[in-house]
Every structure is written in C-alpha cells, then in structure tokens.
Structure 1
Amino acid sequence: MSDIAKVDKKTFDYLMEEPPERWARSCSPRRRYDMLTTNIVESMNSVLLEARELPILRMMDFIQVKLQRWFYERRNEAEGTFYDVSCWVEEELKKKIDLAFTLNVFPVDSWRSRVEEEGITFLVDLNKRTCDCFQFQFDELPCIHAIAAIEKRNIKKSNFCSDWYLKESWLKTYERQIHPVGHTDSWIVPDSVKSQIIKPPDFKVPPGRRKKKRHISATDSSKITFKCGRCRRIGHNRTSCIYSPAVHPFSRKHRE
C-alpha cells in the first residue's frame, strides 16, 4: 500500500475507505481474474471493421469464414506443440525460472518447502498447491517460490498447473469444426421456419450523419495531447490559457 501512496495519494485514500474484499484478490471470497481488459472486444471490433457496411447476411458470412479459419489454425497449433501446457504458459514458466534460481530453498518434507526471497520467508506446499504469496493459488500456476521448490525436487512443472492450462484443454477448445453454410439452394429449411414472417424492427432514423466511431469509456486513456499555441505548454489550448501575457515572448511580434 505504501507503493500505491507514493504513486497516487488520492487512489490510496480511496482504497483505504473501501473494504478490501472489493478491490484485493487476496481478500475476495470468490476467485477473480488478475486483470480486467476489453482486449478481446477491441480485437473483434478491429477485425470486423471492414464488414460493418455489408448487408447483414454478407456480414454473417464474413464472421463465419473468419471463425472457421481461426479454429483451424489454432487447432493445428495446439496439435503441433510438444509441451504439456499451452505455449503461453510455457513462456510464462520460463520467465519465472531465472528468478527462481536466485531463491534459497529449504525442504521440510516431500511436498513442503521454506523458500527465502530477499530475507522474506514463504512456505510452499506443492501437494495443496499453495504459497504464502497467494499467487500460486490465485493464478493456479506455479509462482517463483513454487518453481524453486519444484526444481529442487526435479519434478515436471506442468504437474502443478491447472487443467485449464494443459494441452488437452487447449485442444478441446478448438476440437469442434465450424462447417460452411453452403449455397442457399442446398439449404433444408423446415416448413415451420418458412411460414414465419419476420419484419424489420421499428427504428426511427435520427437526423444527421450516423456515428461510426465507438463511445470512449472512462477507463480508456486519451491519446490526444493538447499544446497551447500561446505559452507552448502541454495540457490546454489557447482558449483556456492562463499563462499568456499581453505580449508573449514566443509570439511573432516579440521575436521581430
């Protein structure tokens, strides 16, 4: 918390007023992600950018072709890997190995170990998959303390990863195929569907040009940097400038 206070005092005061169960993973009664982003939504939004202006059926065909190709490529990638876990997990474990080698490990029994990091002691239980740093049980991936204990015993690190990270789960994610729809002449449509008359929704077109850009949320940081044309400072423009004298030293008249 002291590190947060050094970065932003307002954030520190706000967090101290709220119960830890609402913002700390270690105090949460339920399992939560380590971060919350809109990366998946933003990626799909970028992919479908060229299909937005298409008719609805053409757009659905575009999405179907994209997903069909993605599933095929990811299924082949999962089948071609030689690891017991996904490629991302394998890279994460490799990053932690270098740090784990700098720790001191003192085995207690077949499963438990005392691991020291910069004078701080952590108790690791490989059987229960727990560590005093809580990262082992939260992420369900071995932390650097657990990896140090695992390397001490020459055990496979993948044995202590959650089933969600294993190669088998990766294969099951993309084991289904997205079949092509085919031409409309080959469709077999039941009579119960043919008899239904679907009308377009009631929609009143508002005046003006339709907006195509998405709404910027409060969590998105602005990439626009304002620079004042009078005082040359960043963060405001000429209209809101409070540093401008009658004759500014940067003005053309003053330079002449």
Structure 2
Amino acid sequence: MNTKTSSLVAGNTQCRHSVLPKAEHRHCARHIFALWHKNYKGEEFKFMFWKAVWAYNEVDYQDALEEMGKVSPSAVEAFKGYDPRCFCRAFTNTVTKCDVVVSNMAETFNGYILGARTKHLIFMLEDIRTSLMQRLIAKREELEKYKGSICPRIQAKLEKEKDWAASCNVMPSSKMVFQVSHRLDTLTVDLTRRVCTCRKWELTGIPCCHAVACIFFLHQEAESYVHEWYKKETHLLSYSSAIPPCVGERHWPRVELLIDPPPIKVGPGRPRKNRRKDPHEDPKKPGKLTKHGTQMTCSLCQSTQHNKRRCPEKGKEVQPQPKKGRGRPRKVGNGSMDGTQAMSFDHHNLSAQPTLTGKGGRVLYRGRGSRGASTSRVHP
C-alpha cells in the first residue's frame, strides 16, 4: 500500500473517532478489494480476500490470513493496512444484527432516485418525497398479505440453515446449553443467551445451523428464536408512519416577504448522470465486470497452463452422447417411437394413398373417422 493510501486510511480513522464516536463506522469491502486487487491479481487472491472478509469469528479470520500468508506475506500486510475492523465480519458490532460488508444498500437507493437527481433542488426533493410516500404504502400492503411470522427473505435464509443442520451432531450439556460437532469442528450453543461459538447467530440475529440443530433437538420451532427485528410485527411498525401529501404551488399561502428558491446555476458541460464506472466494467453490460484478472482453465483437464485448443488430452476426450429430445416420444400407429424410429417408419411406408390413421392413432373408416357407422376398413 502506498503512502497516499496509508495517510488516507489514517485520516479516516482519526475522523471516525472524533465525529460521532459512539456510532459504528464501516467501510465497503468491495471498494477496498478494488484497491487491494491492483497489486495482488488472480482468482486465488480474490478467494482468500473474501474468505477473510466473510469470516464470522476471529479463528476463521486468522486461518484465512495464514492461508494468504503462505502465498504472499506482503498481501497480508497490505490487507491489514486497510483497517480490517471496519470491513470484516469478525470485528463487526453484534448490536446492529447486520452482517453486510458492502455499500449495496446505499447504491440501491442512489439508483432509486437516479431520475430525480438530475432535476433542480426543489423538484428533486418533491420527486423523492412522492416516491417514498408511495413506497411506504406499497411495502405495508405487501407485508400485510404475507402469512408468515418473520420476513420472507429472513425465512429463506433460515430454511438454508435448517438444511445444513442435518449434518450437525448435538450433545446436551444442560437444558439449554449444547455441544455441537460439525465438519471436524466443535462448538458451543447457548439457547438462553442466543449465542454460538461461530458468532453467526449473534451477528445476524438468525439462528445458525448449529443452533437450529439444538432447537430441533428440543422439538421446538426455529422461527421463535429469530430476533424481534425480523418479525412481521416489527416490519409493519417500520412502515406504519406515512408521509403527508403536499398541495401544488397554486395553493400555497401568499406572504409579503420575497421567498425565492435558489437560483438555477448551469455549470459548464453536460450534467453528469451516470456513476463513475470501474476501469474493467463491461460497457455493453452495466454493472458487470469483464474477465480481466480471471485465471482461465482448460475445460478438458482443468489445467491453468493451457486452454482447450492446446490441451494434450484433446483427442482423448469422450464424445458426448446426443441429447434426448424433450417431451413424450411421437406416436406412430398404435405404438410409441422416438424421433429416429419414426423417421425410419415413415421412410419405408411412403405411399400415394391417404393415411389410415387419425389423431391418437385411431384407424379411419370410409372417411367418417373412427366413429363412423361402417366397420369395414379402407383398402389401398
């Protein structure tokens, strides 16, 4: 990390402690990765970076750094230079019940008001006000129709934890304290304090797979152990308030004082609407990065030294079998045949006479169909 970046991080740290000292400050891991990845490229470094960032406890965090140090010790020093306590899950405050390490929420809101940001100040605020007024009522009505006890997305995350809980071995220590064995690791779960050694439950407010296994051991519902902030009633309280409507300018009260909006100052050049894009972002697909820095592998032998064209195993690969046609095989006559057999049957039975079979394989009788009065068949 260069001197300029070090001084910037140090200045941000000092500002963080002087301004709003009791608030938790986090940095976007995606932006830090963009800076760190300039000197340490490749899929291997990318995997190790996010493994350290997404670790829920300090033990997994240290294991990820040790794995990174075996490849490049300087990469670990550069990683620590960005103050990991501000963008790694292992050091995140558990009071907020949020494990987000990127600024996607802010970027989403910026995209939501993108059209309003190009207007004058008064009209921009009016557009944002009306959009939020409609959004509050739409979210409230949508959640009122929901039948579950916790929010839909939280329920989906909990279902994944229920699936992973099948691989956990639970051993009770007391009525509410358990020892859980999972993937060659041993952890402690306390259902009374709602904590687990993995720290995931304490950080997110959603029971982890170890806690879910203990809850199932007691024959209880995992939904009852989800934090109150994710319950349907709490979510409805968040959208219970409403933004009052505002009348048009014609109905505003008239006063003697001259109160004018700020003057419109048009700057030089075309106004900027789009965000600053990443240098390696695909111009044809907004928001999608190119394959710059991606380590390519051979699709035949999975080697990183060559591609499929120069693979020594190119002539030895097994030819893929032709795919079977979708749907039910086509019926010919009274039997069912696949596409090849049907073509062969039609080829050897070509005739100038009209066909004797109708829909569903029924035999035609004297031009009246299978339900005709006569029972004698039409001979060619």
TM score, norm. by length of structure 1: 0.71
Count of aligned residue pairs for this structure pair: 220
**Aligned partners of 1:20, 1:63: CA distance in 2, in Å?**
35
**Aligned partners of 1:44, 1:59: CA distance in 2, in Å?**
14
Cα deviation per residue 1:214-236 (whole Å; 9 max; x = unaligned)? 345xxx573149xxxxxxxx78x
- The equivalent residue for 2:182 is 117
Cα deviation per residue 1:58-80 (whole Å; 9 max; x = unaligned)? 43333233212211111012212
* Higher Rg: 2
Local SS of the residue matching 2:127: helix
**Aligned partners of 2:194, 2:214: CA distance in 1, in Å?**
11
Residue 190 of structure 1 and its aligned partner are, at CA, apart by: 8.4
**Aligned partners of 1:169, 1:151: CA distance in 2, in Å?**
25
- The equivalent residue for 1:171 is 236
Question: Which moved further from structure 2: 91-100 or 162-171?
Answer: 162-171
Local SS of the residue matching 2:262: coil
- The equivalent residue for 2:310 is none
1:144-223 paired onto structure 2 within 5 Å: 144-187=209-252, 189=253, 195=257, 197-198=259-260, 200=262, 207-216=268-277, 222-223=280-281
Residue 144 of structure 1 and its aligned partner are, at CA, apart by: 0.8
| 1:100 maps onto 2:165 in alignment | yes
Percent identical residues: 25
Unaligned runs of 5+ in 2: 1-61, 284-291, 294-380
- The equivalent residue for 1:14 is 78
Please tell me whether the aligned partners of residues 176 and 190 of structure 2 are also in contact (alpha carbons under 8 angstroms). Answer: yes
Cα distance change on mapping 1:17 and 1:45 into 2, 3 Å: closer
Cα distance change on mapping 1:58 and 1:37 into 2, 3 Å: same
Task: Give, as a single letter, the amino acid of the residue that structure 2 aligns with 1:177.
Answer: A
**Aligned partners of 1:201, 1:105: CA distance in 2, in Å?**
69
Runs of 4+ aligned residues of structure 1 deviating over 6 Å after TM superposition are 17-20
Cα deviation per residue 1:85-118 (whole Å; 9 max; x = unaligned)? 1111111100110100111111222211111102
Cα deviation per residue 1:143-172 (whole Å; 9 max; x = unaligned)? 110011011112222322222111111001
Local SS of the residue matching 1:106: strand
Please tell me whether the aligned partners of residues 120 and 264 of structure 2 are also in contact (alpha carbons under 8 angstroms). Answer: no
Unaligned runs of 5+ in 1: 226-233, 236-256
Q: 2:155 aligns with which of 86, 90, 113?
A: 90
Please tell me whether the aligned partners of residues 177 and 190 of structure 2 are also in contact (alpha carbons under 8 angstroms). Answer: yes
| 1:50 maps onto 2:115 in alignment | yes
Task: Give, as a single letter, the amino acid of the residue that structure 1 aligns with 2:257.
Answer: S
TM score, norm. by length of structure 2: 0.50
| 1:64 maps onto 2:126 in alignment | no
